[in-house]
Chain A
Amino acid sequence: MSFISYRFRHLAAASLLALAVPALSPSVPSFISPALAADPARGGTMNIIVQPEPPMLQLGLNQQGPTQTVAGKIYQGLLTYDEKLDPLPSLAKSWTVSDDGLTYTFKLHENVKWHDGKPFTSKDVLFSTTKFLPEVHSRARANFARCESITAPDDYTVVFKLKEPFPAFIRAFEVASAPMIPAHLYEGTDFRNNPANATPIGTGPFKLKEWVKGSYIHLVRNEDYYKPGLPYLDNIYFRVIPDAASRALALESGQVDQSQYNDIEPFDVARLKEVKSLNFTTKGYEFVAPVSWLEINHRVKPLDDKRFRKAIMYAIDREFIRDKIWFGLGNVASGPFNSSTKGFDSSIVPYAKNVDKAKALLDEMGLKPDAKGVRATVKLMPMPYGETWQRLGEYLKQSLKQVGIAVVLESTDVAGWVQRVSNWDYEITTNFTYQYGDPALGVSRTYVSDNIRKGVMFSNTMGYSNPKVDELFAAAAKENDPAKRQAMYSEVQKVLVDDVPVVWLLEMQFPTFVSKKFNNVITTGIGVNESYESVYLSKP
């Protein structure tokens, strides 16, 4: 008897999993796919590095990378996205988009409960998308401002009506872009100072048990999770390990089971790839899909001249940067779109290093070398995000010197960097931004001229302005026809690549190391920020 019910429970769990996670197709990395063939067992503890320590875990209020990785297991969005960035169900079990692209209807799972036992309904979705997020979350504010109305015909249906078509809207429901926040705890309160922020209540498969600041965050299994039998793990500990070398040693010695994003410095990656107990992947970052670049202040001469920017482009060897500074992580970026982002045009050929062309362009501008061989002097402020960016700064100084551009390196810390870049007080810096799956969500923002806003980071801080680009981005964002949209995005990429508003470097890749004991870890385009509901520990 008991044997039969035991088997049945597991079969049920496995088939439910197959329904819930269609991303488990043959395209996922090989170490993930055998998951369903085996028999996932309940139990186990996973130790994951978290660095830097998040300031808080209320995902609506804070979307720092580490916050997302931890809080992505506590909170949920309506949708999640596979590695092609197509939507998958999360709190919404199904959805439809009207033919005119104006009405998005979501059906919610009906037996979902908040961690405090209260039911999750369309009321919470309305509260999150009309009150909470528009008040505190800058990306969600922009997305939901496109709605003419958001309504809930019944407890488990939500209808978003847009003012005009915005096909990117379907990618606005990822857990960090639009986390669902419990109305019963926040309605009518001062959101930022609500005491509930210290004890986040979500719907996710894991609940916050304890947070020892400076040491670890302990999540435990949500016994009342709405998918029966899930999650498999009993505990997840997020360990704060501030030193990069110590993090690598902790992975190597098996004291932690997972690292993500920038936890491991690129120069340690090759060594850790050889560690037999660890799997390595760069998948799971398709949704953020950053492109790194040299950001150039167009208000400073001669940086306002596109020939000068092109000369920089020709002067640097981006394959060298990828191979020797990032130790092979990443691809040379052809232009503003990451190849994972929708609308990417694969026909664009990346610039290749060509010192003669660079010199010819500078000659054409009338910038002749002086007695010391210097044609122009620029200030470069590498972004203060670790040693690798510093090394990049040193490389750029050397390679620009070859074409007669002298570089003065400036140093700063994060606060100073944000202050200076957002207030346009720089000449050249390095930067990267997340693309959030769609050009209308994460690419156009740094190139369109109506987003030149002083004091705002990750806006068009270069001051680049081209009416053609503005027009194409605006038209593509509301074009329902995928073919026409692609044509406009292809054209805008060509214009931008010729204008070189920034010098694109790499489609960045982040290394994820996961202990081979764990299965089903990286399953979607959200990667490490997923809920981990189906992660399980292999039987010893």
Chain B
Amino acid sequence: MAGLVPFLAGRMVKAVVILFAIVVLNFLLVHAAPGDPAMVMAGEAGAADAKFVEQLREQFGLNKPLHEQLMTYVGTVAQGDLGFSYRQQRPVWDLIADRLPATLMLTLSAFVVALVGGILLGTLAAINSGKWSDSAITVVALLAYATPIYWVGLMLILLFSVSLGWLPAFGFETVGAGLTGLDRLGDILAHLVLPVFTLGLFYMAVYARMTRASILEVRDMDFVKTARAKGLRESRIVFGHILRNAILPVITVAGVQGGHLIGGSILVETVFAWPGIGRLAFDAVLQRDYQVLLGIFFVSSVMVIVFNILTDLVYTLVDPRIEVAK
């Protein structure tokens, strides 16, 4: 762990450079799309005249040359301000912060469910490889992996909300119920079940397949034979030796996915009317709400960078042979 401080410092410097490049690139990409927010609003109003569009452009600061807009944007971001959404009449950071709890609740729960479930199922399949339980897990995982996520969501709503009436179909909580404390928590959790399961199912399938393949590769290696030869318990062999070595690729993929947690999931959020960041981003694209879109890109870039660093650190914990380096 001696190299930790220089490692982190080096990463920070790289991060700043990367972030700057991301901001500039995103800015240019977003502005390359045809149309602008004033056009969108004119289209939505169902009637317009030249003055209407002109006023909006002036209000949004779109009447300035592009490089000036870029300088202004980079300047405000450098000061820790993500800008202002004129369309929504609110600071971008407020808009993101509003959606953050809902998004994190959904993505983190789905992440944990997927990771734990996926590794357990993958391990189970691998140690029973060739038996019926392996086939069952593999087939289900393949199905879950191949089925469109929104379709799974809709079918779950149809079954559990419309037919059985056990779980609420959409939203974050029961509005207007005036619930507080534990009741409210229970209510939110009930709303959380279907979206988490829908989103988690897909990733669970990914992790399960990956864990299974990785274990199958590791389990015949010499050190496993040695462990078995010296008479270790099977559970200790599986969890202490095989899994610990087999899990590295899973951590890599999980690290990448972890970085996307904050981006939410557009499909699941849309199907379940979950008020998360994925939908905010999607709407921002359609409405050319540049500032909001760039703000979300920025925040998720930061998250990806943070998760990459965390992933590197987790490697060293799981496998002491790996060391951090600048």
Contact = CB atoms under 8 A, between A and B. Distances in A.
B312 interface: no
B154 interface: yes
A192 B34 CA distance: 25
A413 interface: yes
A245 B154 contact: yes
Given A213-B98, A246-B157, A53 B283 contact: yes
B154 A246 contact: yes
Contacts of A213: 88, 95, 98-99, 275
Interface in A224-254: 235, 237, 239-243, 245-246, 249-250, 252-253
B49 A456 contact: yes
A38 interface: no
B209 interface: no
Contact of B88 (A56, A240, A415, A422): A56
Interface stretch (B63-71, B136-144, B163-171, B313-321): B163-171
Secondary structure class of chain A's binding surface, majority of residues: mixed
Interface stretch (B35-43, B127-135, B215-223): B35-43
Contacts of A63: 45-47
B39 A52 contact: no
Given A55-B87, A218-B176, A242-B279, A422 B273 contact: no
Given A141-B49, A193-B59, A413 B286 contact: yes
A416 B59 contact: no
A239 B170 CA distance: 10
Given A142-B49, A218-B175, A456-B50, A136 B35 contact: no
A412 interface: yes
Given A213-B88, A241-B273, A246-B271, A52 B283 contact: yes
Nearest to A384: B286
Nearest to B288: A415
Nearest to A191: B55
B43 to A, nearest CB: 4
Interface in B43-85: 43-53, 55, 59
B158 interface: yes
Contacts of A459: 48-49
B36 A415 contact: yes
A410 to B, nearest CB: 12
A243 B47 contact: no
A239 B273 contact: yes
Contact of A243 (B37, B40, B273, B280): B273
Most B C-beta atoms less than 10 A away, residue of A56, A63, A213, A418: A418
Interface residues on A, range: 35 or more
Contacts of B102: 214
Nearest to B53: A455
B65 to A, nearest CB: 18
Interface string B223-250: 0000000000000000000000000000
B297 interface: no
A16 interface: no
B280 to A, nearest CB: 7
Contacts of A324: none
Nearest to A442: B47
A413 B171 CA distance: 27
Given A55-B88, A415-B34, A418-B43, A136 B162 contact: no
Interface of B is mostly: helix
Nearest to B274: A214
Contact of A456 (B53, B88, B162, B172): B53
Contacts of A55: 41, 87-89, 287
A255 B169 contact: yes
B93 interface: no
Greatest chain B CB density within 10 A among A62, A193, A457 is at A457
A311 B157 CA distance: 47
Interface in A366-423: 412-420, 422
Contacts of A417: 35, 43
B270 interface: yes
Contacts of A53: 283
A416 B33 contact: yes
B46 to A, nearest CB: 5
B276 interface: yes
B47 A214 contact: no
Given A215-B275, A415-B286, A458-B48, A62 B170 contact: no
B277 to A, nearest CB: 9
B42 A215 contact: no
B92 to A, nearest CB: 12
B36 A239 contact: no
A216 B270 CA distance: 14
A198 interface: yes
B35 A215 contact: no
A453 interface: yes
A197 interface: yes
Interface string B272-305: 1101100110010111100000000000000000
B145 interface: no
B194 to A, nearest CB: 11
Contact of A457 (B39, B59, B171): B39
A221 B117 CA distance: 48
Interface of B: 33-37, 39-53, 55, 59, 87-90, 95, 98-99, 102, 150, 154, 157-158, 161-162, 165, 168-172, 175-176, 269-273, 275-276, 279-280, 283, 285-288
Given A64-B46, A415-B39, A457-B48, 14 more contacts: A55-B41, A55-B88, A55-B287, A64-B41, A64-B45, A197-B89, A213-B275, A214-B279, A235-B176, A249-B162, A255-B169, A255-B170, A414-B286, A418-B42
16 contacts: A62-B45, A63-B46, A64-B44, A138-B48, A138-B49, A138-B52, A214-B99, A214-B276, A215-B273, A237-B176, A239-B273, A249-B161, A255-B168, A413-B285, A419-B34, A419-B39
Give 7 closest A-B pairs by Cβ, nearest first: A415-B35, A214-B275, A418-B43, A419-B35, A416-B34, A138-B49, A64-B44
